[in-house]
Every structure is written in structure tokens, then in C-alpha cells.
Amino acid sequence: MKIFIDGQYLDEQNAKISVFDHGLLYGDGVFEGIRAYNGRVFRLKEHIDRLYCSAKAILLPIPLTPAEMTQAVVATCRENNLRDGYIRLVVTRGIGTLGLNPNRCQRPSVIIIADTIQLYPPELYERGMAIVTVPTTRNLHSAVNPAIKSLNYLNNILAKIEANNAGVEEAIMLNAEGYVAECTGDNLFIVKGGHLLTPPLYAGALYGITRGVVMELAARAGMKVSEPNLTRYDVFNADECFLTGTGAEIIPIVKVDGRVIGTGHPGEATKQLVAQYRGLTQVSGEPIF
């Protein structure tokens, strides 16, 4: 595997960054997780846009233009003959000194890894997954805004550990007010009476790219789509529930905090959205070759 670091392609064993990089020392940086399907990078423009928005929010000057970054992602896939896989794009504050001050960091580092990823076992897509709500809440907007896809994912990692301790793979994270925000690495949707509902971004959800695509697909299929504040009660009493994410795609949820959701099986609306999403991933995107 060849890994892109600051314009060079390095073998896996030589792809290393300094222990003085503030990405390591302080989680100071931003990232994206992107998928390639069938020789195309899916929704690359949206991922690049989100990366630059995250970077702007933390005053991180990315040393490439968005067009150059787009080219670098595609070129890294090409270099690795990646037709189907997962791309991790990371921008760190760069090499600095011990001490927080980002002004000591000369130049942000850009890292692109083109590999594969499997988040959940395939049978969970067939049967549906059980999740729980965990005590760790999403960060406040007034702290590190949860819309920033920063390298500091400890908040979500703690929630993930709490999910694992409860014997499940994913967790619902509430915000400080107790409304449903999202999961540790996925956005959450419910279907109720034929309507598709997902928490609003101000509830603490990431501006999920898959979330946006699913809302578009549902609206195009004539479903009413809205983004109200949701409580756990709304989730327990939904007809269907599913999660979305670049890695997970669309995964049905059949149990939440011990409550069976709907029939206890993946619902029809979810299955239709899964089929439409699969169709889209196979044909659209930035060509690699």
C-alpha cells in the first residue's frame, strides 16, 4: 500500500509522522472518511467541502487548494489500484514543539490512506442491529462544535466503549439537553407513519454526507422528510430506525435500549432506501481511472 504524506507516496512501513506532530500530541487536526465504489470516489466534493469547513473552524490553513486535494485523493486511489475501498484523509496541524501553541507548527501535514474497511458484520445488515443509549453526551456547540470532524474523537470513543461494554456495536448519544443527537460514527433516522425523521444539525449531529444523500433519496421517492428534535421516546415508538454513515452505509436498527423497534425486523422503507443507495454508489462519483 502506498500512503500519501505531503505530496509523496510512501510504503506502509515508511509512512510515519513525527512524534512532535500536534495531530498526535493534541488531536489538533481534521479528517474525512470517504468511500470508493466501482472505480469512483463517492460524493468527493461534499467530503472536500466538509474538510475545508472543519479546517476553517479550527483556523487550520490547508496547504492545498480544494481542487489539488481532490486530485490528491483520486491519485492516491489510482496509485493503490483501489476500485472499492475506504479513504482516510487527514490534515494535522503539523510538526511543532511541546506546548499547545499552534503558531509553533510550521506547516500542516496532509495524509491520505486508501484501504478497506468493514464496520459491522454482514448478518447485522440482514437482521438489523441492537443499540443502546450511553451516558457520554455530544460536545456542546460552545465547546468544540460537534460539526467539526476533528482528530479529537475521544468523546465518541468513550461512547463507543460504553456501547461495547453493553454488548452492542453502536450507541445513541444524546446532547446536553437530552435530545437525540446521533451515534458515535453514524447519523440516526426513524420512520414514523411514512415520514422520515432525523435530528437537526443543531442537536449535535455531524453534517453527515450519507445523511444528506438519504434525505435526498427519500424526498425524491415522495417521502416527507423533516429534522425535528427527537427524544428516546420517539425512537422507541418509531416504525423503523436505521443509521447512516460512509463506512456503515445504511444499517437497520431493530432494538434500542431493550425496546423492539417496529416489527423487530428491517422495515420496508429502510430496505427501499438501502436499494436506492446501492444503486447510486455504483454509478456516481469522481472517476479514479
Q: Does the protein bind ligand PMP through residue 210 (CB under 6 A)?
A: yes
Footprint on residues 51-110 left by ligand PMP (CB under 6 A): none
Tell me which H or E stretch contains 46: helix 44-57
Name the DSSP letter for residue 285.
Answer: S
Footprint on residues 240-259 left by ligand PMP (CB under 6 A): 244-247
Residue 168 grid coordinates: 452492542
Of 153, 266, 284, 152, nearest in space to 217 by CA: 284
Nearest-angstrom CA–CA distance, 58 and 63: 14
CB of 262 to ligand PMP, least distance (A): 23
Of 211, 214, 231, 232, nearest in space to 223 by CA: 214
Taking the least distance from each CB to ligand PMP, the nearer of 136 and 246 is 246
CB of 214 to ligand PMP, least distance (A): 9
Taking the least distance from each CB to ligand PMP, the nearer of 26 and 207 is 207
Q: Mark out the alpha helices in 100-153 (DSSP H runs).
A: 122-127
Q: How many CB atoms lie within 10 A of CB 56?
A: 13
Q: Does residue 232 sit in helix, strand or coil? A: helix
Of positions 208, 262, 266, 285, contacts ligand PMP by CB under 6 A: 208
φ and ψ of 120, to 5 deg: -125, 150
Residue 238 grid coordinates: 418509531
Span near ligand PMP by CB under 6 A; candidates 1-9, 100-108, 229-237, 238-246: 238-246
CB of 32 to ligand PMP, least distance (A): 8
Is residue 149 annotated as part of the catalytic site, yes or no?
yes
Q: Does the protein bind ligand PMP through residue 276 (CB under 6 A)?
A: no
Footprint on residues 171-200 left by ligand PMP (CB under 6 A): 182, 185-187
Name the DSSP letter for residue 139.
Answer: P
Span near ligand PMP by CB under 6 A; candidates 1-9, 79-87, 208-216, 230-238: 208-216
> Residues 2, 16, 56, 149: which is the catalytic one?
149
Q: Does the protein bind ligand PMP through residue 211 (CB under 6 A)?
A: yes
Secondary structure of 146-187 as H, E, C letters: CCCCECCCHHHHHHHHHHHHCCCCCEEEECCCCCEEEECCCE
Interaction site with ligand PMP (CB under 6 A): 33, 156, 182, 185-187, 206, 208-211, 244-247
Known catalytic residues are: 149
